[in-house]
Amino acid sequence: MFKRLAVLLVPLAAALALAPTALSAGGRYTFVGGNAVERSQVVQALNASSFPWDIIPGTIVVHVEPRPISEATPGAVWLDNSLLDSGDFSWGVIQHEFAHQVDFALLDPGTRLQLGALLGGVSWWNDGIHDHGSFASERFASEIAWAYWPSTDNCLRPASANDEAGHVPPALFRAALVALLPQATPAPAYEVTRQSAPAVTRAHAAKKLRKTAKKPRKTA
């Protein structure tokens, strides 16, 4: 698997150097629930990332409501409103859940096998038994969130190689993904308006995020 990726990465560097400059596309989605400020966090989060979200086919339905964890199923994303109230702290999670849509719609067993060899994990799909970060699908989503928005403010910024987004360096992950999925070529992100919530709100969101990371869940 790694040899094939290595072969693909060689011409990739030249291809990226010649790629036309364009702003990243924020994707197609519609909302159910949430107020204007909470919905704006979704818009800002996707625009801050250099991932071209428009490559996801169809329109994603974004549900904003009180819930213990944020999650995704094919064609839909559920986001906890109290997390969105934390402002830009929520952006990494939003990107993570939208990254699952990339997996659902654009990957196939072959590409998942190759990416799984790079990302590691007990399996690709969540079995509802092991911890959230044990699965390649979750590492894949977190790697997209971190590799395409490598900001110090990203709540998914890895502290070590053991974190979900820490298994593969951002540049290597982007190159490997584009080698398998050329339309995932990064583009310059839009200018975004940063909004930081009060410290107590961010602390509450961080606590919920830590619980999510330890809780098994199914996304497909």
Q: Give me the domain span that covers residue 32.
A: 2-213
In angstroms, the CA 30 to CA 129 distance is 32
Asked whether residue 181 is domain-assigned, the answer is yes
Task: Note whether residue 219 is domain-resident.
Answer: no
For residue 184, being part of any structural domain is answered with yes
Q: Along the 220 residues of the chain, how does pLDDT read in single tens digits?
A: 444 444 444 444 433 333 333 355 689 999 999 999 999 999 999 999 999 999 999 999 999 999 988 999 999 999 999 999 999 999 999 999 999 999 999 999 999 999 999 999 878 976 665 466 569 999 999 999 999 999 999 999 999 988 999 999 999 999 999 999 999 999 877 766 666 555 545 455 555 555 555 444 544 4
Domain count for the chain, please give it: 1
Q: Who contacts 38 (Cβ-Cβ below 8 Å, separation ≥6)? A: 64, 79, 81, 84, 85
Two tokens at 214?
């330890």
On whether the pTM is more than 0.85, the answer is: no
